[in-house]
Amino acid sequence: MTLRRFEDIRTRLIDLLADPAMSLTDAALEIARLEYPQLDPAPTRETLARFGDLAAARVKPLADQPPRERVRAVNDVIYDEAGFEGDRETYDDIRNSCLNAVVTRRRGIPITLAIVYIDIATRAGLDVRGVSFPGHFLVRCSGEGHHDDLILDPFTGGVELSEVDLRRILMTHMGDDAVFEPGLVTPASPRATVERMLTNIKRLYVRQQAFADARRVTDMLLAINPADMDERRDRGLLSFHLGDMHGALRDLEAYLKDRRFIAPSDDAEIDDTMEPVWAHVKTLRRRIASFN
């Protein structure tokens, strides 16, 4: 993809995020243009609208029922009739991160299936929002003041998760010492959801060694959140792989400065998180000095 196309996508995402009424579906379709530059979003929107209308018809007779009953009706439409499911076999297929492909294939990862769920369930009248749970994106459905909110797993048939389930997922992704806190299931902001989607795409590009594309996605993340110094570090490392010595040094030095890193003496030990960055900075300084 050309630099101009990346810049257009970045601009449109920033414009979307500036709108308080932004649609996650629209943002996800914009992100999908990273892989599908000529994407026509209309068929995806039409398919989601069709399933949303079907879900609304199923939910309407249940208007006086608790949210859990309406969730079951929505789940029947999304998973039993539409056939959406989590892609466990080819989880890292980049199509699973592109909403248009997810809707076409009926397969995806938690965050894209959550966007499908939110779109369809919202059309059916449910108050649902994404939850940026560590390692596994979830959906939260309002209990409407009379019941506890429901935490749902869009990757596994929209199943309702208990606190025990949440603790298990957390330990799977974060280790046995991970501590569950209720704050982990608070609704995610649209900005946080977009950042997580872009981070997933960046990770896949890095795995494919598509470093130029990964750096451009990092540019998008920094445009959304300029203060994210971890992304600044990552951009520096990607620039290093791409041979952009000056760009790499600029970002990595900024990262070390933000972390209040002080260059150690030759025999001093360095924190494990700082050591590789410092090693790159020393290498870059030597190389740039040799150009003069």
Of 18-22, 236-240, 283-287, least confident by mean pLDDT is 283-287
Band of residue 278 on the pLDDT scale cut at 50, 70, 90: confident
Give 185-243 pLDDT, tens digit per residue.
999 999 999 999 999 999 999 999 999 999 999 999 999 999 999 999 999 999 999 99
Band of residue 171 on the pLDDT scale cut at 50, 70, 90: very high
Mean pLDDT of 101-121: 98
Give 233-267 pLDDT, tens digit per residue.
999 999 999 999 999 999 999 999 888 887 776 55
Mean pLDDT score of the chain, rounded to an integer?
Answer: 93
pLDDT higher for 292 or 138?
A: 138
Mean pLDDT of 102-108: 98
Whether 22 has a pLDDT exceeding 80, the answer reads: yes
Q: In the CATH hierarchy, which top-level class contains the domain 40-185?
A: alpha beta
pLDDT at 253: 92
pLDDT at 273: 77
pLDDT at 5: 85
Backbone φ and ψ for 21, nearest 5 degrees, come out as: -100, 25
Whether 292 has a pLDDT exceeding 70, the answer reads: no
Cut 0.85: pTM above it: yes
pLDDT at 85: 98
Mean pLDDT of 164-186: 92
Give 124-143 pLDDT, tens digit per residue.
999 999 999 999 999 999 99
- In the numeric block, which tokens belong to residue 78? 């999304």
In the chain, what are the domain boundaries?
A: 40-185, 191-291
C-alpha distances (whole Å) from 110 to each of 114, 154, 256 are 6, 6, 34
Long-range contacts of 231-234 (CB under 8 A, 24+ apart): 232/258, 233/277, 234/202
| Total residues belonging to the chain | 292
- In the numeric block, which tokens belong to residue 192? 């946080």
Q: Specify whether the CB–CB gap between 212 and 244 falls below 8 A.
A: no
pLDDT at 227: 94
Mean pLDDT of 103-111: 98
Whether 109 has a pLDDT exceeding 80, the answer reads: yes
Of 29-33, 130-134, 283-287, least confident by mean pLDDT is 283-287
Contacts of 124 (CB under 8 A, 6+ apart): 52, 55, 56, 58, 59, 70, 73, 74
pLDDT at 157: 97
Q: Which residue has the tokens 């209990």?
A: 143
Domain boundaries 191-291, corresponding CATH code: 1.25.40.10
